[in-house]
Structure 1
Amino acid sequence: MPMNRPTAAALAAALCLLTAACGMSSGVSDGSASDTTAAAAKAGYPVTLDNCGRQQTFQKAPDRVVVMNGASVAEVSTLLALGLEDRIVANQQSYGMSEVPGRAAAVKALPTGDIQLNEAYDIPREAMFGLRPDLVLSVTSYGFDEKNGFATREQLEQVGANSYVSPQGCDDDPSRMTVADSYRLLRDMGRIFNVSDKAEELIAASEKSIAAVSARVQKVQEVQGKKKPKVLVLFSHMSMGTGDFSSVFAHGIVNDILARAGGANAFESASGTTFADLSKEKVAATDVDAVVVIGYNDPDPAAYAKKLLKEFPQWPAARNNTYVTLSDSMYLGPSNDLAVAKVARMLHPDAF
């Protein structure tokens, strides 16, 4: 969600009615309704999720999925991590880069549906119906807002399509987001597509990696008596408000990642919302021990980081040239463990 809401949204609609033929058993069958019901039950269906106060029931694994933009890659990356790329009929998410080798190329290779996007760079209502999806994924509830030209969740339900809003997206407030929300997204997709074992495997690997990194960092901090370094986290070349520095994170999943890596957000108290809209004077007056630059379709975020350090030579971060560039792993998605590891190595290199 790195861009202003008018710049990127999330939503879709659908038209693939759930029929008995979709749930046909792989064994010998006469195609009767009882055979279909038995096959679905054997596969773990029906599955019902409570999503933003709405009950969504799946009679089978979706096979025509539309992923709305929302200036995120959390949803499409989660599907890719679970091996579900063949279920996607249209994807509008792209970050341009990734900490996961091959991930950016895999996202780029997905079908887009060849449709005309609206002013929010997303899929308008009628185009969505033409895609005939049976599941529409949206970063936030904004993607199902009728006044913005999107299909509502009710309209999708009427044509037989389920819909899903990602964790912390019901009220469009990612300021409370944590790594646990990334795990929740994985678990929900695991249940919907009957790949819960794979989801739990990914979650367990991530938890193990993060726990190992955190243990190393904590040991060094205890032995050396080090305080948690103060970290500035921001998007490169991005504007969220009117200040000189409006893409600086104050809250959200980045704070959880920093804490697990042995750091703290230098601007956590600057705002009660996800982003702090700051003046250059405020940024200059704050001690910053390290910088994390998140590149969103930026071919050279390191250049932005170096320029920033040169602009504020009084920072400890500038004196020690302490920065790291990241992309999708620093936000909601299946790769937060990579961000924790990279930030921790920057902040506490003697722990590794």
Structure 2
Amino acid sequence: MPTPRPAAVALAAFLCLTAGCSGTTGSDVAGAAENSTDAASQGTYPVTLRNCGTDQSFDHAPSRVVVMNGASVAEVSTLLALGQGDRIVSNQQTYGMSEVPGRARKIADLPTGGVKPNEAFDIPREAMIGLRPDFVLSTTSYGFDAKNGFATREQLKEIGARTYVSPEGCGQDNLNMTIDDSYTLLRDMGKVFGVAEKAEKLVATERQNIAAVAAKVRNAKKPKVMVIFSNMTMGGNDFSSVAAHGIYNDILAEAGGSNAFASASKSSFADLSKEKVAATDVDALVVVSYNDPDPTAYAKKLLKEFPQWPAAKKNTFVVLSDSMYLGPSNDVAVEKIARMLHPDAF
């Protein structure tokens, strides 16, 4: 994502705190749910969630929902997958692309509430209060930090708004995030909006799809994969947006691969020199796009830059976006990567 450095740093802060099958995919089910206009009127209330050390109680489904940016689409995609898009009064999340047909357009069509984002590309305190939300979702606790000009959870509580920080977003890094956290987000939102049964069906379908792919590649050799965010600067070196830990590695493992740079950093992302990247054998490349107009061109440029890589010699790469993050579509990433790494297994 070509952005001025301050903007890239702000997005990096969020990111560092936060991912053809023959059967039905979890994203097929999610896509069907996104087209649904069912009201969440059959839920069991009250519902209480323990979230980042605070209890958030609901006696009915929220109707004025605000989704903060957080360099994510996990939250808005989860709400759409559960058929709750009509409850959103302001959405700040967008990637411009999605592995789920129609999702990017549905996200783009959601209201923004006329908010003018701050330097961190998110909703400043005064604008948030003016939206009169009854539920606010943030990818990380950063989104409720007064030092960054945001409304705090306490301030939002005073105006009657409940708040939610997505799984693994309470701490300082998401290096322990797994696909199970995507399921937790789905289940939590299912409870909040009274559609727990729909959430469980989505989770069950996604689990089944991932298990089916994993079974096909379980005994295969695990190629070394580089996962990199295209055209994004997150540090001081030439390659500062290389994923090292977190949900990315869980997805790679299920797809029959391994992270070529897992040992290069103790945090979620590695900030690497060109020399370090050149000296590492990369069997395959996963380029993750965040509002990049041409991530495929970025992938091809990278392979040309390192012709010694096995990935370059065999032109082995795949471009993904929202399925590689926390969210309701990790099964899509698992299958696409597995087909790239082990085509003979399908």
* Equivalent position of 1:33 in the other structure: none
Q: Deviations over 1:217-257 (max 9, x none)?
A: 125x2xxxxx2100000011001100100000000100000
Aligned residues: 317
Instruction: Find the structure with the greater CA-based Rg.
Output: 1
| Distance in 2, Cα, partners of 1:246 & 1:306 | 18
Give the number of the structure with larger relative contact order, counting CA–CA contacts within 8 Å between residues 6 or more apart: 2
Matches within 5 A, 1:63-142: 63-142=63-142
Counterpart amino acid of residue 309 in structure 1: L
| Distance in 2, Cα, partners of 1:287 & 1:251 | 18
- Say whether residues 1:188 and 2:167 are aligned partners: no
* Structure 1 SS opposite 2:336: helix
| Distance in 2, Cα, partners of 1:343 & 1:281 | 26
| Distance in 1, Cα, partners of 2:311 & 2:77 | 32
- Say whether residues 1:265 and 2:265 are aligned partners: no
Matches within 5 A, 1:97-246: 97-219=97-219, 221=220, 227-246=221-240
* Deviation of 1:7 (Å): 3.9
Q: Is the 8 A contact 2:225 2:258 kept in 1?
A: yes
Counterpart amino acid of residue 255 in structure 1: N
- Say whether residues 1:334 and 2:338 are aligned partners: no
User: Which blocks of at least 5 consecutive residues in structure 1 are unaligned?
Assistant: 11-39, 222-226
Please report the TM-score for the alignment, with normalisation by the length of structure 1. Answer: 0.87
Counterpart amino acid of residue 148 in structure 1: N
Q: Is the 8 A contact 2:187 2:196 kept in 1?
A: yes
Q: Is the 8 A contact 2:43 2:196 kept in 1?
A: no
Q: Is the 8 A contact 2:210 2:254 kept in 1?
A: yes
Q: Deviations over 1:16-54 (max 9, x none)?
A: xxxxxxxxxxxxxxxxxxxxxxxx998411100000010
Counterpart amino acid of residue 89 in structure 1: V
* Deviation of 1:172 (Å): 3.5
* Equivalent position of 2:275 in the other structure: 281
* Equivalent position of 2:31 in the other structure: none
Q: Is the 8 A contact 1:7 1:119 kept in 2?
A: no
Q: Is the 8 A contact 2:125 2:149 kept in 1?
A: yes
* Deviation of 1:9 (Å): 7.6
Q: Is the 8 A contact 1:288 1:317 kept in 2?
A: yes
| Distance in 2, Cα, partners of 1:141 & 1:126 | 18
* Identity rate, percent: 71
Q: Is the 8 A contact 2:9 2:233 kept in 1?
A: no
* Equivalent position of 1:343 in the other structure: 337
Q: 1:299 aligns with which of 274, 293, 298?
A: 293
Q: Is the 8 A contact 1:8 1:120 kept in 2?
A: no
RMSD after superposition: 1.8
* Structure 1 SS opposite 2:242: strand
Counterpart amino acid of residue 185 in structure 1: L
Q: 2:10 aligns with which of 6, 9, 12?
A: 6
| Distance in 1, Cα, partners of 2:61 & 2:81 | 16
Q: 1:321 aligns with which of 311, 315, 331?
A: 315
| Structure-2 change in CA distance of 1:43 and 1:232 (3 Å) | closer
| Distance in 2, Cα, partners of 1:281 & 1:288 | 13
| Distance in 2, Cα, partners of 1:8 & 1:315 | 27
- Say whether residues 1:309 and 2:306 are aligned partners: no
Counterpart amino acid of residue 193 in structure 2: F
| Distance in 2, Cα, partners of 1:218 & 1:8 | 34
Q: Is the 8 A contact 1:230 1:264 kept in 2?
A: yes
Counterpart amino acid of residue 232 in structure 1: M
Counterpart amino acid of residue 258 in structure 1: L
* Equivalent position of 1:15 in the other structure: none
User: Which blocks of at least 5 consecutive residues in structure 2 are unaligned?
Assistant: 15-39
* Deviation of 1:117 (Å): 1.5
* Deviation of 1:121 (Å): 1.2
